[in-house]
Amino acid sequence: MKKIILLLAIAAIFGACSSKKTQNEEPGKFITVSILPQKTFVKKIVGDDFVVNVLIPPGTSPAAYTLLPSQMEEISKSAIWFRIGYIGFEHSWQDKIAQANSKMKVVDLSEGLDLIAQVKEQHGDHFHLSGVDPHIWLSPVLVKEMAKRILDEVSKLNPEQSVKYKTNYLEFVKEIDQLNIEIANKLKPFEGRKIVVFHPSLSYFARDYGLLQYFFESGGKELTP
Q: Could you write out the DSSP letters of every residue in 87-125? A: -HHHHHHHHHHHHH-TTSEEEETTTTS---EEEEEEETT
Structural domain count of the chain: 1
pLDDT tens, 37-88?
Answer: 999 999 999 999 999 999 998 888 777 788 888 889 899 999 999 999 988 8
Whether residue 57 is contained in a domain is answered as yes
What's the mean per-residue pLDDT of the chain?
84
Residue 123 CA to residue 60 CA, distance in Å, equals: 37
Cα-based distances in Å from 100 to 61, 70, 72, 97, 205:
22, 12, 6, 5, 35
Comparing 224 with 100, the larger pLDDT belongs to: 100
* 65 or 192, which is more confident: 192
Distance CA 207, CA 220 (A): 23
Residue in 148, 182, 153, 146 with CA at minimum distance from that of residue 168: 148
| 145: in domain | yes
- For the purposes of burial, counting CB atoms within 10 Å of the CB of 128, is it exposed (0-12), middle (13-18) or buried (19 or more)? exposed
Residue 20 covered by a domain: no
Residue 215 is predicted with a pLDDT of: 84
Position 142 confidence tier, pLDDT thresholds 50, 70, 90: very high
Residue 21 lies in a domain: no
Measured at the CA of 152, the angle between CA 150 and CA 157, to 5 degrees, comes to: 90
Q: Which domain holds residue 132?
A: 26-188
Confidence of residue 3 (pLDDT cuts 50, 70, 90): very low
| Helix (H/G/I), strand (E/B), else coil: 209 | coil
> Of 60 and 204, which is predicted with more confidence?
204
Q: Tell whether 38 is covered by a domain.
A: yes
Give a yes or no: residue 200 inside a domain. Answer: no
- In degrees, rounded to 5, the angle at the alpha carbon of residue 77 between the alpha carbons of residues 72 and 78 is 95
Query: How many CA atoms, within 13 angstroms, populate the side-chain half-sphere of residue 121?
Result: 6
* Residue 118, in any domain of the structure: yes
In a domain, 14, yes or no: no
Output the pLDDT for position 169: 98
CATH number at residue 69: 3.40.50.1980
pLDDT bin (cut points 50, 70, 90) of residue 8 is very low
